[in-house]
């Protein structure tokens, strides 16, 4: 957990108001509370022993890396600490702390209010010096950080260090007069915060967000041979800086990415831009026209690698991906699964309605859909993974639900000595084996 002073890309001047959220007493209290909310003995057992569970024909395998990342843990710890350190103050959150509905609901239950937002703009007008505002793990736009400073309220900044690394990179592009090309989702909070770092107060620096390879190719073609400016601007509406002109502002570009994109796709975006610039200006002049940075975060990479390994080496009938539907890194895990086997993206165990019905998020339709006969009878192997914003207790509930379908009490599958250590009740016989 950290509340270290750092500039965070906000203007220098009066320091942000803070309290120390890292005292030993607070840390202990927070740890106990976080554990009580999100802990899972079953998931911890599987994770530490790298083993799987098996009973009554049902085998459950967990990816080697899954769930809460260091950035999310830090953000949650800071938010929990704020409820203790700032007791008696109004505590507000800019949007969501992370993209997981259960965690956000938990914070609401602890008295943290969400600031009202209309079409991406937060209502900061009623805030006073005595109020506390939590900046989420994906950061906030420069203009919002400016305004909070002007108001003089307390700030609990949970912006992840990996997000700030991207900011540093785009500020370097900005300071060189290079247009930042961000591979990401223009509507995502992290990307909105990042692009706000790519432009200067004085103007003259720009950004463009590309999401797909098709969009990348469109821009690369424009770099090579020009095109219809009006059509370009219409196509990317909402994804470029004020005054952006593709005829002027694609001469020198630097590519960075939202931290939670698919690594291989980001690399492809970089490669295509590099090639387009080499075609247009000559490879010998590339230095003046092209820069790139790999800003996929370590945690996203680890989860993608672990799933890729699982998909390549484990025989599975289906995959469950657990996490918030607006979570970028989780949605990429679901995409990876879909390419290989039946995959169901669920936000919690309630979505496992019965052995014949599952409600899951369809990313193409952007809505939950019901699939029938999703769980085969007889011997079946279910793979499970979770995004970086998904707490272990949601995975545990999912595993419990799966075994309920086979009449098995999951805890009875854990070794007796482990059960004793973690304080679980003595085993009752499961119906399996
Ligand atoms: S997913 Fe990556 S960037 Fe986002 S909070 Fe976690 S570590 Fe930080």
Domain range summary for the chain, segments of one domain joined by +: 37-68+298-421, 70-160, 164-292
Query: So what's the pLDDT on residue 15?
Result: 54
CB atoms near residue 131 (< 10 Å): 21
Query: So what's the pLDDT on residue 27?
Result: 94
Query: So what's the pLDDT on residue 338?
Result: 97
Rounded Cα distance, 49 and 76, in Å:
26
The string of pLDDT tens digits covering residues 280-332 is 999 999 999 999 988 889 999 999 999 999 999 999 999 999 999 999 999 99
Mean pLDDT of the chain: 92
Q: Is 186 helix (H, G, I), strand (E, B) or coil?
A: coil
Please give the CATH number for the structural domain made up of 37-68+298-421: 3.40.1010.20
Query: So what's the pLDDT on residue 297?
Result: 92
- Do the domains 37-68+298-421 and 70-160 sit in the same CATH topology, yes or no? no
376: Cα separation from own chain's centroid: 31
pLDDT under 70: residue ranges of the chain? 1-17, 426-433
State pTM to two decimals: 0.89
Q: In the structure encoding, which two tokens stand for residue 28, read together?
A: 């202990």
Judging by beta carbons within 10 Å of its beta carbon (0-12, 13-18, 19+), is residue 413 exposed, middle or buried?
Answer: buried
To test the pocket of ligand 1, the residue of 71, 75, 78, 191 to mutate (highest count of ligand atoms within 8 Å of its CB) is: 71
Please give the CATH number for the structural domain made up of 70-160: 3.40.50.11270
Pocket of ligand 1 (CB under 6 A): 69-72, 137, 160, 162-163, 259-260, 297, 299-300, 329, 388
Q: Whose CA is nearest to atom 6 of ligand 1?
A: 71
Whole-number Å distance, alpha carbon 73 to ligand 1 midpoint, is: 9
Whole-number Å distance, alpha carbon 406 to ligand 1 midpoint, is: 36
CB atoms near residue 252 (< 10 Å): 17
Question: 164-292 belongs to which CATH class?
Answer: alpha beta
Q: Is 266 helix (H, G, I), strand (E, B) or coil?
A: helix
Query: So what's the pLDDT on residue 20?
Result: 86
Whole-number Å distance, alpha carbon 300 to ligand 1 midpoint, is: 7
Ligand 1 atom, smallest distance to 329 CA: 1
The string of pLDDT tens digits covering residues 44-91 is 999 988 889 999 999 999 999 999 999 999 999 999 999 999 999 999
Ligand 1 atom, smallest distance to 163 CA: 3
Ligand 1 atom, smallest distance to 388 CA: 1
Whole-number Å distance, alpha carbon 327 to ligand 1 midpoint, is: 11
To test the pocket of ligand 1, the residue of 75, 77, 163 to mutate (highest count of ligand atoms within 8 Å of its CB) is: 163
Q: Measured between alpha carbons, how far is residue 71 from residues 32, 157, 195, 388 in Å?
A: 19, 12, 20, 9
Q: Which residues are catalytic?
A: 190
How does strand 58-62 pair with strand 121-122? unpaired
Query: So what's the pLDDT on residue 268?
Result: 96
- The closest of 342, 305, 301 to 321, measured between CA atoms, is 342
Whole-number Å distance, alpha carbon 160 to ligand 1 midpoint, is: 6
Q: Whose CA is nearest to atom 2 of ligand 1?
A: 297
Query: So what's the pLDDT on residue 14?
Result: 55
Rounded Cα distance, 257 and 209, in Å:
9
* The length of the chain, given as a count of residues: 433
Whole-number Å distance, alpha carbon 20 to ligand 1 midpoint, is: 23
309: Cα separation from own chain's centroid: 21
Ligand 1 atom, smallest distance to 98 CA: 5
Query: So what's the pLDDT on residue 200?
Result: 83
Contact, 318 vs 341, CB < 8 A? yes
Q: Whose CA is nearest to atom 4 of ligand 1?
A: 71
């Amino acid at each position: 957990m950290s509340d270290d002073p750092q500039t965070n890309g906000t203007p220098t001047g009066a320091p942000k108001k803070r309290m120390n959220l890292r005292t030993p007493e607070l840390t202990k209290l927070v740890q106990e509370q976080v554990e009580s909310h999100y802990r899972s003995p079953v998931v911890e057992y599987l994770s530490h022993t790298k083993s799987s569970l098996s009973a009554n024909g049902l085998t459950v395998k967990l990816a080697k890396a899954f769930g809460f990342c260091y950035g999310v843990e830090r953000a949650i710890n800071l938010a929990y600490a704020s409820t203790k350190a700032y007791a008696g103050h109004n505590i507000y959150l800019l949007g969501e702390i992370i993209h997981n509905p259960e965690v956000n609901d938990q914070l609401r239950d602890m008295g943290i209010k969400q600031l009202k937002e209309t079409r991406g703009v937060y209502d900061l007008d009623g805030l006073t010096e005595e109020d506390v505002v939590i900046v989420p793990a994906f950061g906030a736009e420069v203009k919002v950080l400016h305004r909070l400073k002007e108001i003089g309220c307390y700030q609990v900044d949970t912006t992840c260090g990996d997000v700030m690394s991207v900011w540093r990179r785009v500020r370097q592009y900005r300071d060189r007069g290079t247009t930042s090309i961000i591979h990401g989702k223009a509507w995502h909070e992290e990307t909105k915060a990042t692009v706000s770092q790519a432009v200067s107060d004085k103007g003259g620096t720009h950004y463009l967000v590309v999401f797909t390879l098709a969009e990348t190719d469109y821009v690369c073609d424009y770099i090579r041979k020009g095109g219809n400016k009006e059509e370009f601007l219409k196509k990317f509406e909402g994804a470029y800086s004020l005054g952006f002109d593709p005829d002027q502002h694609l001469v020198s570009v630097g590519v960075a990415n939202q931290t939670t994109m698919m690594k291989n796709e980001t690399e492809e975006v970089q490669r295509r831009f590099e090639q387009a610039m080499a075609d247009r200006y000559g490879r010998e002049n590339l230095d003046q026209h092209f820069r790139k940075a790999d800003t996929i975060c370590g945690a996203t990479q680890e989860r993608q690698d672990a799933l890729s390994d699982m998909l390549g080496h484990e025989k599975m009938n289906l995959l469950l991906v657990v996490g918030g539907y607006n979570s970028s890194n989780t949605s990429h895990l679901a995409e990876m699964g879909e390419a290989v086997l039946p995959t169901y993206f669920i936000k919690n165990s309630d979505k496992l309605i019965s052995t014949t019905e599952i409600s899951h998020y369809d990313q193409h339709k952007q809505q939950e859909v019901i699939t029938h006969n999703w769980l085969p009878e007889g011997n079946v192997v279910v793979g499970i993974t979770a995004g970086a914003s998904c707490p272990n207790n949601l995975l545990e509930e999912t595993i419990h639900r799966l075994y309920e379908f086979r009449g098995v009490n999951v805890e009875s599958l854990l070794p007796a000595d482990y059960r004793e250590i973690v304080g679980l009740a003595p085993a009752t016989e499961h119906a399996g084996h």
